[in-house]
Copies of this chain bind each other. A is one copy, B any other.
Amino acid sequence: MNPMKHNVDYSLYLVTDRDIMSTSTIEEAVEQAIKGGVTLVQLREKRASSLEFYETALRVKQITDSYNVPLIINDRVDIALAADAAGVHVGQRDLPAARVREIIGPDKILGVSASCFEEAVQAEKDGADYLGVGAMFPTGTKTDADITTMDELRRIRGAVSIPIVVIGGINKNTLPLFAGTGIDGIAVVSAIISAADVQEAARELKTLLQQVR
């Protein structure tokens, strides 16, 4: 049993995006973000070859490991296994969650994206350890995303017992809207990765999170 799996801090979850990052490397962004308070990192590579994705994952894992922060791989279950990441995050267009759980076994973290109640309930049944719920707001980094309303988020929170991380347009302006919703954390792409000062952007969100909860 992975001793870390049940003690994961989902509060400030960074999702990478090399197309909009302000730093010159993903590794630099990840390290600065962790120094600013990021508790979980998802590596997302949409155009890399499998080898590039794998090698990037190995480099990023050196950093996340040194700060004891779990590394989650987006979509690619094989990359997560090859790099021995802490887990994998799948969306509704990726491999089915139940099949992924069979492949990765019980110890690795499985995250699943859900934009509505039905997907959320199904994901928990399929063995998800946490949900990424959204997109909560229109966002430039995922233009095809369905919008999840605050009411739908509350419905999901009332129905599932696994941790919920909201995603999609979360920044210092929208974060206060989640006060009292019972979420476990926020997943952030551009509000951290595109910031001129990545560490400071993470720190600001971290401080705000503590006020909101």
Contacts and interface: CB of A to CB of B under 8 A. Distances in A.
A93 interface: yes
A117 B211 CA distance: 62
Q: For chain A, which range describes its interface: under 10, 10 to 19, 20 to 34, or 35 or more residues?
A: 20 to 34
Contacts of A51: 92-96
Residue of A54, A78, A92 with most chain B CB atoms under a 10 A cut-off: A78
Interface of A, secondary structure class, is: helix
B103 A81 contact: yes
A207 to B, nearest CB: 37
A47 to B, nearest CB: 11
Contacts of A54: 95-96, 99
Specify how many copies of this chain sit in the oligomer: 2
Contacts of A100: 82
Contacts of A77: 78, 81-82
A79 interface: yes
A146 to B, nearest CB: 15
B82 A49 contact: no
A58 to B, nearest CB: 10
A79 B95 CA distance: 8
A204 interface: no
Contacts of A99: 54, 82
A103 B75 contact: no
A76 interface: yes
A95 B78 contact: yes
Contact of A78 (B49, B92, B103): B103
Contacts of A75: 50
Contacts of A76: 50, 78
Interface in A54-98: 54, 75-79, 81-82, 90, 92-96
12 contacts: A50-B76, A50-B94, A50-B95, A54-B95, A54-B96, A76-B78, A77-B81, A78-B81, A78-B95, A78-B103, A79-B95, A82-B103
Interface of A: 49-52, 54, 75-79, 81-82, 90, 92-96, 99-100, 103
